[in-house]
């Protein structure tokens, strides 16, 4: 979040942009970025003229998107949601006439143009996307085994391997004959309400582990959700 927000802040400074509207999803993914972008914009003396929430439960914007954007003095929209939600929001923006060429949109990831009717393609021209890149792009060391694979796949691999290593270490520290007890969850029938019972120990292990992943050096800290390197 912090790295992406900083890159966006520098983009605004480079093009002498001064303000934007932020659209984010109402969960940790969106709220974490909202705080990060507020901090960066404050440091650069930039303005967030409004924040618009996308409700991931109802799959809808809170309010009328056309009115919220048309009545706002800024014509730059920063959309920070997951890919599936981005497609829904962009289609709504197209239907409401609040995308290109009157508005400039900055997205948190790439989108598939094939998701839209070709008649809308002219309105999609000029959008920016902010995407993570692997270490070698900025001359940082990486494991070159999967160098040519998709960037998102590399980050997903390292995230999964980080979790696997931490769980193995956590379970090896548990003195019990019941191998499942080290990965116990609350007994809630709804999967999204389940909680891992030993979260603190797992996070401490993750923060203490370091290794060279396929996307670059892997290290975490208790003070931020971003990778240290």
Between CA 97 and CA 182 the distance in angstroms is 53
With a cut of 70, which residues of the chain have pLDDT below it?
1, 132-150, 174-181, 187-194, 225-226, 229
Give burial (CB, 10 Å; 0-12/13-18/19+) of 86. buried
pLDDT value for 60: 86
Between CA 79 and CA 90 the distance in angstroms is 9
pLDDT value for 141: 57
pLDDT value for 143: 53
What CATH number belongs to 2-129? 3.40.50.2300
pLDDT value for 192: 60
94 to 83, 89, 160: CA distances (angstroms): 16, 9, 36
Q: Which part of the chain is CATH 3.40.50.2300?
A: 2-129
* Cβ(143)–Cβ(163) below 8 Å: no
Of 192, 226, 199, give the one whose Cα is nearest residue 56. Answer: 192
Other CB atoms closer than 10 Å to residue 186's CB: what's the count?
Answer: 9
* Cβ(124)–Cβ(113) below 8 Å: yes
At residue 220, φ and ψ (nearest 5 deg) are: -125, 165
């Amino acid at each position: 979040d912090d790295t992406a927000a900083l890159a966006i802040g520098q983009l605004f400074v480079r093009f002498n942009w001064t303000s934007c509207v932020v659209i984010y999803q109402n969960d940790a993914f969106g709220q974490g970025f909202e705080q990060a972008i507020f901090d960066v914009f404050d440091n650069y003396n930039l303005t967030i003229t409004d924040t618009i929430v996308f409700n991931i439960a109802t799959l809808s914007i809170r309010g009328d998107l056309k009115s919220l954007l048309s009545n706002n003095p800024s014509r730059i929209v920063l959309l920070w949601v997951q890919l599936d939600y981005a497609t829904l929001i962009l289609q709504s923006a197209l239907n409401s006439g609040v995308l290109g060429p009157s508005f400039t949109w900055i997205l948190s990831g790439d989108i598939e143009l094939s998701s839209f009717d070709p008649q809308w393609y002219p309105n999609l021209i000029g959008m920016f996307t902010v995407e993570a890149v692997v270490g070698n792009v900025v001359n940082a060391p990486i494991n070159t085994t999967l160098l040519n694979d998709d960037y998102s796949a590399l980050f997903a691999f390292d995230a999964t391997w980080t979790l696997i290593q931490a769980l193995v270490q956590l379970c090896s520290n548990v003195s019990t004959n019941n191998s499942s007890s080290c990965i116990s969850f609350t007994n809630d029938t709804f999967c999204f309400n389940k909680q891992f019972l030993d979260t603190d120990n797992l996070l401490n292990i993750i923060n203490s582990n370091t290794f060279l992943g396929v996307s670059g050096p892997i290290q975490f800290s208790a003070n931020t959700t971003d990778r240290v390197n």
